[in-house]
Chain A
Amino acid sequence: MALKIAVLVKQVLDPEMPVAAFRIDAGTKRVVPPPSIPPVVNGFDENAVEAALRIKDAAGAAVTAISMGPSFALDVMKKPLSMGADELVLLQDQAFDNTSDAFFTAQVLASAVRKLGGFDLIICGRQASDWDNAQVPLGVAELLGVACISLGKKVEVQGAKVVVERLIPDGYEVVEASLPALVTVSNELGQPRYPTLRGIMAATRKRPTIWKLSDLGVAKEQLQPRITLHNLFVPQRSKVCEMIEGDDAADAGRKLAMKLREAKLI
């Protein structure tokens, strides 16, 4: 039977948007998505899709992308399909509005994985660029009771095991585990592929599976949030930058060196 791979992906606010467009609604404690800037697939999750597709290219695999949220920009979330994933499952419910609670999110995603009959390998981005929480993938591994390897920069399946080059502060270690397993990946994995025209056409024809909370059979008590958000604000910056000027750029550079010398910094 073909290898079954799930990739967990999240729709996020574009982290590359100008800082000036970043706004918080103090009342709801929410970031207000600027209407002119469309959301994106979380960058590390695109690395995760890429990791899954490399395995598919090498050994053959059925790749399913799974996402949870209150609503989706379908054209954005079809990107994993246009890159080459086979299926897309969207867990869409107003009840999924609180995506900042790792416990809640992991319970919902784990139940979807179970409902889909389980996977040999689950690949996730190391963290999402909105809440930078880096908890959900590890939580899903715990809830499913599968082996967990974090911060991969290369992921390969060899027979019944996964072999991962895992980032450590000054290099990497090669770690292996028996399947089923969950692996998180980092940007060091390399650029995600661009969707091909054929991929985009195929993705247009594919219809995602859409499940609501009630389809998943998660008990209410399992969804009790573990974290309370009290406040969300934009930090004030008080620094004043002293601009160094010169006759030309090189002279400004020289003057900068003098300035740092005066300040006893060099």
Chain B
Amino acid sequence: MAEAKGVLVLGEIAGAELSSSSLELLAAARKLSASLGEEVAIALLGDTLDVPAKTAISHGADQVYAVNHPQLRQYHPDLFLAALETLCREASPRIILMSRSNQGRELGPRLAFRLGVGLAQDSLEIALDPATKKLMANRPVYGGNAVAVVSCNATPQMAAIRPKAYEPLAADAARQGKITSFPVDLKPEAARSRVVSVVKEEAKGVKLEEARVVVSGGRGLGGPEPFKNLDALAKLLGGAVGASRAAVDSGWIPASHQVGLTGKSITPDLYITVAISGASQHMAGCSGAKVIVAINKDAEANIFKEARYGVVGDWQKVLTGFTEAVRELTQG
């Protein structure tokens, strides 16, 4: 194997374009490449890669490995893994970055085991140690109660980055990069599992991950009914409804509304939490919110340590007054 060199980003395709999390990875990779003096490459898997390849270059890639294969048109973990393992062995990068996205969640650890190396999981920040040039990753652990600083003992060094932890670079249409086709030989029997059907539980209205305003409810709501009030408020504000894991586990609202470490990561301008205590597992999903508002009856609740504005009181009464005033302000 050639000497390990450069940063390889494992890109993801969303629709026909490069995913937003991939753009974030390219920004993180450029920082590393500046201190290493080495190239940023990106791996793209699929069957129509021209558009995402150009996007990748304009957002920071020096080199695109286009792994074109009809079997890669749709995501399958086993086939993607087979392709990525081949590419990673051949390209021999010093560092591999991926997103801790839905795909990255299963591809990252499995790829690390296939390559026999370590993976710094769910990293919020990565940097090179100035002395050793080793990749150092800060990752939240214990549900966000602590931060661990870790490095990888083997090469390639791998890190999965939490979505939204980095801001994409602005597109630069003048940037130059090389697109290399990377053919792979895939055996269909490598796919050990088969998707039989897909059931969408898409929420109506504004998507949670894209909403500018999110109104979330937690255990303190006491039942499913209050989510109607939250929904009415969210509609007034043109936003979406979220929930804590406790509310989802109680069956008050579908899991697709869950915000948190094991739910969705959201980045609204305004995040209004109602009767949510603010456990660190929940806060892990909304750390990217610009302004957090807390309505909770317990003045000692952790949420007030995270919020910009807070009201201590019976959520029902506070919310009624708040919603009325919002209605007057937005419609008056």
List residues of A whose CB falls within 8 A of some B CB.
Answer: 13, 15, 19, 22, 24, 31, 100-103, 106, 126-127, 129-135, 138-139, 141-143, 146-151, 153, 163, 165, 167-178, 181, 186-188, 191, 224-235, 237, 239, 241-246, 248-254, 256-261, 263, 265-266
Contacts and interface: CB of A to CB of B under 8 A. Distances in A.
A229 B142 contact: no
Nearest to A251: B321
Q: Kindly list the 7 A-B residue pairs having the minimum CB-CB distance in the complex, ordered from nearest.
A: A226-B118, A253-B321, A250-B321, A257-B325, A253-B322, A249-B317, A249-B313
B142 A22 contact: yes
Given A250-B318, A258-B325, A263-B291, A167 B153 contact: no
Interface of B: 77, 102, 105-106, 108-110, 112-114, 116-122, 136, 140-154, 192-203, 213, 237, 245, 248-249, 255-256, 261-262, 264, 269-270, 280-281, 291, 293-295, 302, 304-314, 317-326, 329-330
Contacts of A149: 193
A232 B146 contact: yes
Given A130-B141, A254-B322, A260-B293, 12 more contacts: A15-B281, A22-B142, A22-B145, A102-B118, A103-B118, A132-B140, A133-B121, A173-B199, A230-B151, A239-B308, A250-B320, A253-B321
Given A150-B106, A256-B318, A170 B146 contact: no
A210 B237 CA distance: 58
Q: Which applies to chain A's interface (DSSP): helix, strand, loop or mixed?
A: mixed
Q: Most chain-A Cβ atoms within 10 A of its Cβ — which of B145, B307, B314?
A: B145
Given A175-B194, A249-B318, A142 B110 contact: yes
Contacts, number: 266
Contact of B311 (A103, A130, A230, A256): A256
Q: Which applies to chain B's interface (DSSP): helix, strand, loop or mixed?
A: mixed
A138 B248 contact: no
A234 B145 contact: yes
Contact of B109 (A130, A138, A245): A138
Contacts of A231: 148-149
A244 B153 contact: no
